[in-house]
Amino acid sequence: MTPLRQTALISALAVAGYAGLRSLPDTQCAFLHADHEPVVVDGVEFCGVNEEANFYSPAALRFPVRPAVTLSSDGATAELRLTKDDGHPYYAHEVAVSHTRKVHLHLRRASGDRSYAHVHPEPTDDGSWRFVIPPALRGSTLEAYLDFADVRTGRVMLAQLLIPAGPAAPSVPTPLRNRIVSVEASALRTGETAMIRVRLAGRPGGALRLRPIMGALGHAVVFSADKPEAGYAHMHPTLEGGEYADDPTLAFRLRLPSPGTYDLWINLNDGEEELLRTTLVVTP
């Protein structure tokens, strides 16, 4: 290849890469959710009332960040490194606050009961991010999905990795305070957009009153339950009004992924955080 053609090729690749980056949505909501209109309710700015979430495989999207996790010897804590293409780590001042935190890390047991936790690593001076492995997840191989926003570009970065199993730890199951009463979906066929309404209830004789959690009245995360389709969807309530009832209904819009069975986790706050799981079956 002549020097002139080589220069032309490099220039074309640079222009294509720049155009690709420019085409990416420029906020967390705009990336994780195809459509959104931010709103303020009771002084809290929510992500949007009509956002549509998609099921993403971060590894397939090839973001310019390489995650790595090192477990402590007892498997109780871990250190996350977020390395850029230039080999340097992401320091705290280079990561923006999104949904009230800097880094959102979704941990899910790769087998067994597929337990899930949403944690927020804290930065250190050397560019690492430390977090606690929830006792219920210790001793298992974990699927890890993370998102954060780059201060310089304003873009959201997604990444995923497997965390090898560390030493197990005794775990005492926590009784659930609240429950999912019903789940209704306006569509179940792959590729369609579904409005998923999840009706919740508190203890018998008591009302469930939702409080904001990470800038929303709840969060939902979707994982594949019956096949090794690495990926996830992260949703926020569409704020139809039912979320303020004593026994609330949270509504989420999701572009349905490929056919199969999916775990739908609801992360809510009634004064304390709680995770509830139900099932969503997508048809061909």
CATH architecture of 56-163: Sandwich (2.60)
Other C-beta atoms closer than 10 Å to the C-beta of 174 total 10
Radius of gyration of the chain (CA): 20
Q: Output 276 or 167, whichever has higher pLDDT.
A: 276
Other C-beta atoms closer than 10 Å to the C-beta of 98 total 20
10 — phi, psi (to 5°)? -60, -40
Cα distances (angstroms) measured from residue 120 to each of 79, 123, 141, 231: 12, 10, 19, 19
pLDDT digits (tens, 9 = 90+) for 211-226: 988 888 899 999 999 8
Structure-block tokens of residue 140: 């298992």
Q: Which residue type does 80 have?
A: L
- Matching fold, domains 56-163 and 179-282: yes
Domain residue ranges in the chain:
56-163, 179-282
Contact 65, 95 (CB under 8 A): no
Task: Write down the mean pLDDT value for the chain.
Answer: 84
CATH architecture of 179-282: Sandwich (2.60)
Q: Is 162 helix (H, G, I), strand (E, B) or coil?
A: strand
pLDDT digits (tens, 9 = 90+) for 224-275: 998 766 799 998 888 888 888 888 999 999 999 999 999 999 999 999 999 9
